[in-house]
């Protein structure tokens, strides 16, 4: 009987893994495709030991300068540049990109200036 239980457990574990991969694959492929579409846009420079997408803090309607963008980013000491280190989630319920990954240079008309820039 234990051989049957072990076989079932193995089957269930493998089925769960396959299901997780099937769910995650389209999102990963889409994210990689979006990132490839934006490759070469903006300057990639060393900044504090890590590379990132550099965008002017005065840029309007860009995700990296938006209050609702949830990507990894930091602002320069003089508050003139933002360095974004990857994709980020849109947290603006008014945007059609709400709860989707976007690039730092993606533009939207539902943009709101990041409060730290004031």
Q: Where are the domains of the chain?
A: 1-37, 43-117
Whole-number pLDDT of residue 2: 58
DSSP string of 90-109? B--TTSTTBTSEE-TT-B-T
Q: How far apart are CA 23 and CA 36, in angstroms?
A: 21
Quote the pLDDT of residue 31: 55
pLDDT of residue 7: 76
- Angstrom CA distances, 24 to 19, 63, 87, 94, stand at 9, 24, 17, 26
Position 94 scores a pLDDT of 94
State the pLDDT at residue 13.
Answer: 74
State which residues of the chain have pLDDT below 70: 1-5, 16, 18-50
Residue 44 is predicted with a pLDDT of: 40
Using the structure block, give the residue that is written with the tokens 């990689």. 32
Token representation of residue 90: 């849109």
């Amino acid at each position: 009987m234990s051989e049957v239980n072990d076989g079932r457990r193995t089957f269930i574990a493998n089925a769960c893994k396959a299901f997780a991969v099937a769910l995650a694959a389209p999102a990963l492929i889409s994210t990689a495709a979006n990132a490839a579409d934006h490759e070469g846009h903006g300057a990639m420079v060393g900044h504090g030991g890590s590379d990132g997408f550099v965008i002017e803090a005065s840029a309007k309607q860009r995700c990296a300068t938006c209050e609702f963008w949830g990507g990894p980013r930091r602002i320069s000491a003089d508050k003139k540049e933002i360095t974004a280190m990857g994709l980020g989630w849109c947290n603006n319920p008014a945007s059609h990109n709400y709860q989707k990954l976007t690039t730092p240079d993606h533009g939207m008309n539902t943009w709101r200036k990041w409060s730290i820039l004031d």
